[in-house]
Structure 1
Amino acid sequence: MQSNFKDIINVDKPVLIDFFADWCGPCQTMAPILKQVKDHMGDRIQIIKINVDQNKELAARFQIRGVPTFMIFKNGAHLWRQSGLLSKKDLIDLLDSYA
């Protein structure tokens, strides 16, 4: 994952990265919300889920201390980061501002 991470975030649309874990209750709560956000925004954004237990090096590189942690990248630039639950409306508004 780390080798192609630069390719994933280096696109001309917002890329929402969801650092999650299978054992994380709030992460499971966010899964359907993220699907609704993707369904609403379509091809204007990209959502990538990264399991911190399977991608320890990447999680360490971004100092992920809690899950879920969300980050937004566009054209390879880190634009935003937040941990915890987010509403569908907040995510859509946020992604619209970077689209």
Structure 2
Amino acid sequence: MGTFTKAVTDTSFDAEVLNSSTPVLVDFWAEWCGPCRALAPKLEEVAQELGAKVKIVKVNVDENPSVPGKYGIRGIPAMLLFKGGSEVGQLVGNHPKDAILEFLNKNV
């Protein structure tokens, strides 16, 4: 992962996302997914810019099938925003950095 984003697994998802006091944007991705790789540097920049306001984590769907299945992830990249343990929004696809920031500012 990057300096400002963190990998989360099926095992650590509840502690890192659902029990977080900070809103969490979860990026569901895979190594073989070109759009996912293109999205990664933008998420890193967003995480750096927003700092403690939002935590950005990444779930590799190939290595962690349980969480994506639980949330009905069928296509990647997919980003779900969690606040207080509940899903409050989602973005699917490789979006421009400005669109991600707008989505987060509107929902956080």
Compute the displacement of 1:72 (Å): 0.1
Q: Distance in 2 between matches of 1:27 and 1:47?
A: 14
- After the TM superposition, list the runs of 4 or more consecutive aligned residues in structure 1 that deviate by more than 4 angstroms: none
User: Structure 1, residues 23-52: CA drift from partner, whole Å, max 9, x if none?
Assistant: 000000001100110111111110010000
Distance 2:36 2:83 in 1: 23
- 2:16 pairs with 1:8: yes
- TM-score between the two structures when normalised by the length of structure 1: 0.91
| 1:28 and 2:34 are equivalent in the alignment | no
- 1:92: how far off? 1.0
Matched, 1:46 2:55: yes
Q: How many residues align?
A: 99
**5+ unaligned residues in a row in structure 1: which ranges?**
none
Aligned to 1:72: 81
Cα distance in 2 for partners of 1:92, 1:13 equals 16
- The one-letter code matched in structure 2 to 1:50 is V
What TM-score do you get using the length of structure 2 for normalisation?
Answer: 0.84
Q: What one-letter code is carried by the residue in structure 2 that aligns with 1:13?
A: T
The counterpart of 1:60, out of the listed 58, 63, 69, is 69
Structure holding more helix per residue? 1
Instruction: State the Cα RMSD in Å.
Output: 1.3
